[in-house]
């Protein structure tokens, strides 16, 4: 995540919202390090912690219930903080965040641009999350040129994360 955020112009976003898994202490530490100097300048950030939408090895039969629980928490955070743009990468929860950002567009409340960065590990095919986010994202970034042949809306930007 840190490498991905190095390209963000923070002056355009004086308030930032990070949504991370409830058990993801490493991402929270990363966010705090990135935000240290900006907080000293009076800028604001919030880390929203949400339950996993699906745990590794969790049976697919129980996944809809945990995904709904995650959606509830993400929707509450998105409602309170009302982001101007969503930048996401990774599996699981990012799909829920993407859906939560897409719903206001459908109902005519607000168009929240969604930028999704597919995993560097996805060389020939998209992840399940990537396949879903390809449908939702305004900008869909891949890190291998071959994927732009298969997915014409994808933008090739090497070595982001």
For the segment 7-15, the average pLDDT, to the nearest whole number, is: 81
Asked whether the predicted pLDDT for residue 120 surpasses 80, the reply is: no
pLDDT tens-digit readout, 50-104: 998 887 788 888 888 999 999 999 999 999 999 999 999 877 789 999 999 999 9
pLDDT, greater one: 130 or 5 = 130
Q: How far apart are CA 31 and CA 44, in angstroms?
A: 12
pLDDT tens-digit readout, 21-56? 998 899 899 899 888 878 878 888 999 999 988 877
Mean local confidence (pLDDT), 103-128 = 89
CA distance 42 to 39: 5
* pLDDT score of 3: 73
* 6/107: higher pLDDT: 107
Residues 6+ apart with CB under 8 A from 94: 88, 116, 129, 133
Phi, psi of 86 (to 5 degrees): -120, 125
Instruction: Check pLDDT > 70 for residue 13.
Output: yes
pLDDT digits (tens, 9 = 90+) for 132-152: 999 999 999 998 899 999 999
Q: Which has the closest alpha carbon to 111: 140, 72, 74, 82?
A: 82
pLDDT of residue 125: 87
Tokens 């963000």 belong to 8
């Amino acid at each position: 995540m840190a490498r991905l955020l190095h390209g963000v112009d923070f002056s355009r976003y004086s308030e930032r919202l990070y949504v991370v898994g409830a058990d993801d202490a490493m991402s929270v530490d990363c966010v705090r390090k990135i935000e240290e100097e900006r907080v000293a300048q009076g800028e604001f950030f919030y880390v929203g912690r949400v339950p996993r939408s699906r745990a590794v090895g969790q049976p697919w039969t129980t996944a809809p219930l945990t995904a709904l629980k995650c959606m509830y928490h993400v929707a509450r955070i998105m409602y309170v903080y009302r982001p101007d743009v969503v930048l996401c990468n990774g599996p699981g929860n990012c799909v829920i965040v993407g859906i939560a950002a897409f719903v206001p567009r459908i109902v005519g409340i607000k168009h929240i641009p969604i930028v999704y960065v597919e995993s560097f590990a996805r060389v020939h095919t998209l992840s399940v999350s990537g396949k879903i986010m390809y449908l939702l994202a305004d900008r869909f970034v891949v890190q291998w040129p071959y994927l732009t042949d298969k997915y014409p809306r994808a933008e090739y930007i090497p070595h982001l994360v």
